[in-house]
C-alpha cells in the first residue's frame, strides 16, 4: 500500500492503472553481460495499466483527469506529435471514463515512412474513438468547434507536463518505488528515465524530495534523465519548473527543489525528436535480445541506449540502477526501418 504524506494524500486521483504497483524486476542477464559493477533493474511502467498498452501518461492522467471530472468536462482536448503516445493514452483513458476526446496533432518529425502517418498510435487513436483534427489545427479552433456543439472541453497540454497537476503522477510513483524497495530489500541509488516534456522526471524529483523532507529516504537518489528532444539547458529549466510546481501542491516549497536534485543528458537524443538512428536501433535490439523486453524508437530506446553507453564506458561502476520503462512500444510499427 502506498502511503502518501498529507497534503499530497488529499489530492483526488482517478485510478487508471492496475491496482498493484507497476512491476520492478531485476535484469539478471543484462547485469551479467555488462559486468560493469552495477546491478540493473527495470520498472515496468510500460505495462502499468490495462488501457491500450498503458505507459507513463496514464500515470499522470490519474491526477489530471480527476480534475477534468471535477470540473464537469465532457471532452478532453490534447496534442502531441503525430505518433504521440500521450494522445493514445488520453484517448484510452477518455473512453474508460466515458468522455469524448479531440486530438490536434502536430507534424514534429520528418519521416520518409508512409507508415508514420497511419500505423502505431495513429491507428489506435481511431480505434479508440478519438476525433482527430487535421495536423496543425490550433487549440483555439478545436475549442471553438467543440463549444459550438455545446461541449465542455478540458485542455491538456502536450504530455500533460505543463498542466498544474502534471507532475503529481510521478511524485506518487516515487513513493511507489520506495514501497517496492522495502518489499524487495533493495535500495536504488540511480534512477534513469527518458525525458520528453518533463513531468515524468519532474514529478519524480518532487516526490523523492518530499520523501527526503519527511525522513523517508535513506540516501539521496541520483535521478538522471536522457532528453529525447530538448537540449540540456532548456530541458533542465523545464524539469525544474515542473518539479517546483508539483512541489508546491504536495507539501513543499518551490525553493526546496534545485538543479542539484537531478541531471539531464542530451547525448543520446540523436538527430532530433522522433528521428531514429542506428545507435538507438542497436540499443533497442541489445535489450530485446538479452532480456526479451521491447523499448521504443522515440523515448525508451534512446534512454536505454544512454544507460548501455554509460555502463560500457565505465560511468556506472557500482550500485543499483533502476531503469524506468515509460512505454511507447506501440509506435514501433510506424518505424518500419527498424528491422
Ligand X SMILES: *Cc1c(COP(=O)(O)O)cnc(C)c1O
Provide the binding-site residues for ligand X, judged by CB under 6 A. Answer: 55-56, 85-86, 159, 161, 194-200, 296, 299-300, 326-328
Place of cell 511507447: 328
Do the beta carbons of residue 262 and residue 205 sit within 8 Å? yes
Spatial separation of the C-alpha atoms in residues 163 and 160, rounded to whole Å: 6
Q: For 129, left (φ over 0), alpha (ψ -120 to 50), or beta?
A: left
Query: Hey, which residues are catalytic here?
Result: 84
Give me the least distance between CB of 47 and ligand X, in Å please.
Answer: 12
Do the beta carbons of residue 72 and residue 97 sit within 8 Å? no
Closest CB to ligand X belongs to which residue? Answer: 328
Radius of gyration of the chain (CA): 19
Give me the least distance between CB of 296 and ligand X, in Å please.
Answer: 5
3-state helix, strand, coil in the chain (%, to 5): 45, 15, 40
- Whichever of 21 and 54 has its CB closer to ligand X, that residue is 54
- Whichever of 31 and 326 has its CB closer to ligand X, that residue is 326
Spatial separation of the C-alpha atoms in residues 61 and 56, rounded to whole Å: 9
Do the beta carbons of residue 49 and residue 17 sit within 8 Å? yes
- Whichever of 146 and 324 has its CB closer to ligand X, that residue is 324
Do the beta carbons of residue 281 and residue 338 sit within 8 Å? yes
Give me the least distance between CB of 151 and ligand X, in Å please.
Answer: 26
Do the beta carbons of residue 190 and residue 316 sit within 8 Å? yes
- Whichever of 163 and 221 has its CB closer to ligand X, that residue is 163
Nearest CA to 301 out of 271, 321, 333, 278 is that of: 278
Amino acid at each position: 500500500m502506498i502511503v502518501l504524506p498529507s497534503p499530497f494524500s488529499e489530492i483526488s486521483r482517478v485510478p487508471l492503472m492496475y491496482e498493484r504497483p507497476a512491476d520492478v524486476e531485476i535484469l539478471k542477464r543484462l547485469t551479467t553481460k555488462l559486468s560493469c559493477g552495477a546491478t540493473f533493474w527495470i520498472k515496468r511502467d510500460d505495462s502499468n495499466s490495462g488501457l491500450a498498452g498503458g505507459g507513463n501518461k496514464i500515470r499522470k492522467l490519474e491526477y489530471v483527469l480527476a480534475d477534468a471530472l471535477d470540473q464537469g468536462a465532457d471532452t478532453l482536448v490534447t496534442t502531441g506529435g503525430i505518433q504521440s503516445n500521450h494522445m493514445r493514452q488520453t484517448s484510452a483513458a477518455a473512453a474508460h471514463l466515458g468522455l469524448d476526446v479531440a486530438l490536434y496533432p502536430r507534424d514534429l518529425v520528418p519521416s520518409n515512412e508512409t507508415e508514420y502517418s497511419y500505423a502505431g498510435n495513429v491507428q489506435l487513436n481511431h480505434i479508440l474513438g478519438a476525433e482527430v483534427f487535421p495536423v496543425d489545427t490550433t487549440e483555439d479552433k478545436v475549442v471553438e468547434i467543440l463549444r459550438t456543439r455545446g461541449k465542455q472541453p478540458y485542455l491538456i497540454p502536450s504530455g500533460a507536463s505543463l498542466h498544474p497537476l502534471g507532475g503529481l503522477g510521478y511524485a506518487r510513483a516515487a513513493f511507489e518505488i520506495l514501497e517496492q524497495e522495502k518489499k524487495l530489500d533493495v535500495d536504488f541509488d540511480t534512477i534513469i528515465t527518458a525525458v520528453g516534456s518533463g513531468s515524468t522526471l519532474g514529478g519524480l524529483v518532487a516526490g523523492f524530495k518530499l520523501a527526503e523532507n519527511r525522513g523517508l529516504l535513506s540516501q539521496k537518489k541520483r535521478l538522471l534523465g536522457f532528453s529525447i528532444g530538448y537540449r540540456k539547458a532548456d530541458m533542465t529549466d523545464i524539469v525544474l519548473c515542473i518539479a517546483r510546481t508539483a512541489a508546491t501542491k504536495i507539501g513543499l516549497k518551490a525553493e526546496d527543489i534545485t538543479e542539484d536534485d537531478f541531471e539531464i543528458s542530451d547525448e543520446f537524443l540523436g538527430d532530433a525528436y522522433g528521428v531514429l538512428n542506428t545507435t538507438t536501433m542497436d540499443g533497442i535490439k541489445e535489450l530485446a535480445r538479452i532480456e526479451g523486453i521491447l523499448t521504443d524508437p522515440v523515448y525508451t530506446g534512446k534512454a536505454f541506449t544512454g544507460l548501455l553507453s554509460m555502463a560500457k564506458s565505465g560511468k556506472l561502476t557500482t550500485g543499483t540502477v533502476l531503469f524506468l520503462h515509460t512505454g511507447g512500444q506501440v509506435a514501433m510499427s510506424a518505424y518500419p526501418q527498424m528491422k
